[in-house]
Structure 1
């Protein structure tokens, strides 16, 4: 981590232009081999039984520690607004009429003192598993009044925060952005900052990323966010994206986050195959720094171009961190299963070719899976058993996000309601796959294990989904039918187990409420009355600033309502406050 220094100077415009030039020669995407991806994974001995059989046989586990990481800005600070002004004026978003310049920052950077209360909620409802709190802030210029060319740099800090609390770090962007990415600082774009979160340093890989307008409303356990058995919890909206062609200027002008979802959907389709992928819920996001690093850096040019944006929407598109991290995790878990079955288990002699003997075994396994697709032989649903599994491992089950919809231990989420009655090996795997004479006299390139892997993993994802579902139907629980032999291929199996543990996940319907706050009357009706006066409880709440009021008295009334709400819900000061 770069030591903070008041002698720091912001990069020049030319420095940032050089980063953009560098980005243009980078590839759109790269593929990280699983052998490389799992180098940071250490197995403790119980993971094989867990992945293969859905059976926990290990010792009592310690509750995980999780960092809470905030992206925070005090837009009311004069030094901040003065520092930002030249970048606003020179932004491509600045129009001749000055409308964007006049309006864009009114609610994006407004300070309601939400962070104070959000941190109170973390200490009150998640303090027993909080490792540290990191607050990511902007730097600002302190000009020398005698010489406008000279200045020192300070970093924003909440005025109420204790200066030496050992559990809290205040990090300016310069302290965690990558070496090339920091050449375009300062940034005032939350997407740009979020794409660099994985660079924050900590004793734990796990973090919960949230904004200051998000508060906890009920007591949480660590497994509400992450557990060693089931990975991070993920929540999704109903809206889904499946971008099949390069996004257009019309897409760039869509409302809110849609341009970034559309763009990132296009990248994910190119990397993992086309499918609908749902947008993430608007609350905090549980993530792994190592997975986030792999997910973001797997798209080198889009990631670098995103880092060069100082304001959201300057080029229309950016890599959307949460969307790419969530779906990268899900897709890599699925990809590991297909890689394991095709490249390692089925290619028993590791020659890169599926001969008739190997194909015949696959056909028998697929046939057995098809025969088992009846209600009385259906697989056990591990997502119904999450609390029991966690308690067996000595871990506290979820207390808030208790509506669990799926776990990766059940297979890829896409197989949940998938109809595979029409699965055809000739169409899905290779022409002539089920015919012994297809390669009786000479090898056929269509039976290359790498060719078949790419075909069902990326080119035709539905075929890969059905293959996984049918093969898993051979066992009541666990992922064993897709794994290489523990006796004949122990090292390959260990790599697969590491990958499946690293990229595991749990999909939940989170106990969360999202509100677009507009004015005092609305805030009183949807917030004060139900949550304070009628004592309604919700696990997690996001209060998004959608205020367009300009009248001073109207803003005062709204501020009074929000203050009453926050003080009513969280009246006790935290240990972080002066």
Structure 2
């Protein structure tokens, strides 16, 4: 009996041990899944109604001085002017920052998507991969949304999904469930219309607000003046250019909105400030490739190549308005587009930027045009501020000998040195250090940047040039091609070699020098606007060197050397003209206008700089892998896993493979399976408004 009892006890002990061994891993797995689904529900809330920056401000209120709510609202405009002036002058935040630096407080998001299987039957039959492409686009949109819900944090606003209308001639020929995957809405005239909708997107949820569905007709035909462009080809156009143009002009959204395509994936935590903020402006992500493949040169390239043709046409427009040069390509990533800037460009190029032109072969690349236009206008504003607003003190449109002498002195040339300009070193700046950017955003009550990418800011004068950092020793010697002098210069303070980037030539400002040297009247007063056009457009290297010198003179932060003194005033309508598509036709001079009330020049300049301020991120091309074959797909995904340094990816088969023999018939389908499998591991949990579907 004792033996049986002992055996029974041993069996119970073994059974108890096995139960414990099985229960512990099961409990751990249950806790993990519970936490994962809890995280899913919490993060899903961001997609329907993303929290504003106030959530982040409350969390970090003790880490920085927030806006003072006790300041009356009628005093906010004056406070805003003073704070903008301090920001551009010293690069620091004022003591009591305004509640809102601009009218925009959040960054709205617009995804554009189209279902290619709803096109006309002829186009569908002409492409054997149309079904694959449609499934790919639809599936990647799902993962684009999932990645956004997981990684988007403070500062974002509403989420909109923009799709074309359903072709009226296609409803009878579409097969499968595509006819059911539509969204019924009413237009301005009360007529029932149908727009495209992903089959998996639920139009309602009892808890969370799904993305708002918007269709081409609702934007293109929203007013009586727009009825003329409400043709069928535009409303059902599958081109991304059409959706991007409509998204940039949509009313009811923030002035600057982030336009996202289905193949754009968020790979790490980001806030709205990673794409746009009032202080630093929109962030343009350029290709870091310095070879010809990473640039567009309209002077040497023609628009016969379909991939680069819209870029080349856009660059030609920029050459016409500003200067003729090669321009860096944007990467295929989410782009912040400013509605006021787009409207401003439409005044310059109404035909090229007409919405109907987006379906033609002569369309231009809108994000590329807007990014480089903003960069050029900021450069123009800096030079205008220094030459016209600062040194034409009496505002008569001319530079007198005394005004010219003051201008030359600011550039380091005077009579004692026989008006020979000094060599210009690379500026030593701390504007874009992570510590400085984070502190400035927190003090201004704005979301801090969460991305790890380094930025270059227009607050350092030329955003395309990376200045020296105080944290690192000077690196990279830039030789002056026009001067055989030794480029190594010894800095007076740290005795270390510093890169000398340029020397301002006498020819740049020869009219001013001649006038000062012959002050008895042999040379008349120089016209201010002509001097400005000379260095800004006719001899752009002169303007670039001036910007570099004045940035250095402004110190580690701010642009004080460019700005007029606080006692100078001007007419409010004499800022640089916005509607002239040729710089030679523009009148950039100040003229007296006693009828109108005057404003402080420094406030006008600060407002102008705030309009065009921006940042630039140079990123490696591997974040937008080609992946045109199975081998390239494997290599591209492996590279993204290994170099996990970017907050954004872009999965798209770009163009045609240069060697058709390397492309196999099943590559498109294999690409879809590889990419989807990779994304499903990163973003496995469905969204609350993602219904069950039979799609891949």
Give the structure-2-normalised TM-score.
Answer: 0.65
Q: In the alignment, which residue of structure 2 is the partner of 1:410?
A: 460
User: Among residues 422, 436, 441, which one is paired with 1:390 in the alignment?
Assistant: 441
Q: What's the CA shift for 1:365?
A: 0.9
- For the structure 1 residues 559 and 153, does the alpha-carbon distance in structure 2 shift closer, same or farther, using more than 3 Å as the test? same
* Secondary structure in structure 1 of the residue aligned to 2:686: coil
Q: In the alignment, which residue of structure 2 is the partner of 1:360?
A: 405
Q: In the alignment, which residue of structure 2 is the partner of 1:502?
A: 611
**1:68-87 equivalent positions in 2, closer than 5 A:** 68-76=109-117, 79-82=118-121, 85=122
What CA distance in whole angstroms lies between the structure 1 residues aligned with 2:382 and 2:284? 20
Q: Does 1:436 align with 2:506?
A: no
Query: How much is the aligned-residue C-alpha RMSD, in angstroms?
Result: 3.6
- Structure 1: tracts of 5 or more residues without a match: 1-39, 90-97
User: Among residues 657, 673, 677, which one is paired with 1:564 in the alignment?
Assistant: 677
Deviations 1:203-233 (A, max 9, x none): 4222221210111111112222122221122
* Secondary structure in structure 1 of the residue aligned to 2:624: strand
What CA distance in whole angstroms lies between the structure 1 residues aligned with 2:214 and 2:396? 51
Q: Does 1:341 align with 2:378?
A: no
* Secondary structure in structure 2 of the residue aligned to 1:46: helix
* Secondary structure in structure 2 of the residue aligned to 1:472: helix
- For the structure 1 residues 535 and 159, does the alpha-carbon distance in structure 2 shift closer, same or farther, using more than 3 Å as the test? farther
* Contact 1:131–1:167 under 8 Å retained in 2: no
- Structure 2: tracts of 5 or more residues without a match: 1-76, 173-190, 415-420, 467-477, 481-499, 570-598, 658-662, 692-696
Deviations 1:171-227 (A, max 9, x none): 222222372554462323222332333211234222221210111111112222122
Which of structures 1 and 2 has the larger relative contact order (alpha carbons within 8 angstroms, sep 6+)? Answer: 1
**1:484-503 equivalent positions in 2, closer than 5 A:** 484-489=564-569, 490-503=599-612
* Secondary structure in structure 2 of the residue aligned to 1:541: strand
User: Among residues 226, 244, 263, which one is paired with 1:213 in the alignment?
Assistant: 263
* Secondary structure in structure 1 of the residue aligned to 2:382: helix
**1:185-224 equivalent positions in 2, closer than 5 A:** 185-186=234-235, 187-224=237-274
Higher-Rg structure is: 2
- For the structure 1 residues 535 and 365, does the alpha-carbon distance in structure 2 shift closer, same or farther, using more than 3 Å as the test? closer
What CA distance in whole angstroms lies between the structure 1 residues aligned with 2:671 and 2:129? 20
Q: In the alignment, which residue of structure 1 is the partner of 2:331?
A: 281
* Secondary structure in structure 1 of the residue aligned to 2:549: helix
* Contact 1:430–1:452 under 8 Å retained in 2: no
* Contact 1:232–1:505 under 8 Å retained in 2: yes
* Contact 1:142–1:152 under 8 Å retained in 2: no
* Secondary structure in structure 1 of the residue aligned to 2:386: helix
Greater mean alpha carbon deviation, residues 349-358 or residues 485-494? 485-494
What count of residue pairs does the alignment treat as equivalent? 502
Greater mean alpha carbon deviation, residues 462-471 or residues 387-396? 387-396
- For the structure 1 residues 421 and 287, does the alpha-carbon distance in structure 2 shift closer, same or farther, using more than 3 Å as the test? same
What CA distance in whole angstroms lies between the structure 2 residues aligned with 1:215 and 1:145? 32
What CA distance in whole angstroms lies between the structure 2 residues aligned with 1:144 and 1:158? 17
* Secondary structure in structure 2 of the residue aligned to 1:399: coil
User: Among residues 375, 399, 406, which one is paired with 2:450 in the alignment?
Assistant: 399
Q: In the alignment, which residue of structure 2 is the partner of 1:20?
A: none
Q: What's the CA shift for 1:411?
A: 0.4
* Secondary structure in structure 2 of the residue aligned to 1:382: coil
* Contact 1:379–1:475 under 8 Å retained in 2: no
What CA distance in whole angstroms lies between the structure 2 residues aligned with 1:526 and 1:413? 30
Deviations 1:386-415 (A, max 9, x none): 2333344344432224322x2111102356
What CA distance in whole angstroms lies between the structure 1 residues aligned with 2:405 and 2:316? 37
Q: In the alignment, which residue of structure 2 is the partner of 1:265?
A: 315
What CA distance in whole angstroms lies between the structure 2 residues aligned with 1:212 and 1:41? 43
Q: In the alignment, which residue of structure 2 is the partner of 1:422?
A: 503
**1:286-305 equivalent positions in 2, closer than 5 A:** 286-304=336-354
What CA distance in whole angstroms lies between the structure 2 residues aligned with 1:217 and 1:472? 35
* Secondary structure in structure 2 of the residue aligned to 1:176: helix
Greater mean alpha carbon deviation, residues 46-55 or residues 218-227? 218-227
Q: Does 1:463 align with 2:537?
A: no
- For the structure 1 residues 525 and 154, does the alpha-carbon distance in structure 2 shift closer, same or farther, using more than 3 Å as the test? same
What CA distance in whole angstroms lies between the structure 2 residues aligned with 1:145 and 1:273? 50
Greater mean alpha carbon deviation, residues 342-351 or residues 268-277? 268-277
* Contact 2:154–2:447 under 8 Å retained in 1: no
Q: In the alignment, which residue of structure 2 is the partner of 1:577?
A: 690
* Contact 1:366–1:467 under 8 Å retained in 2: yes
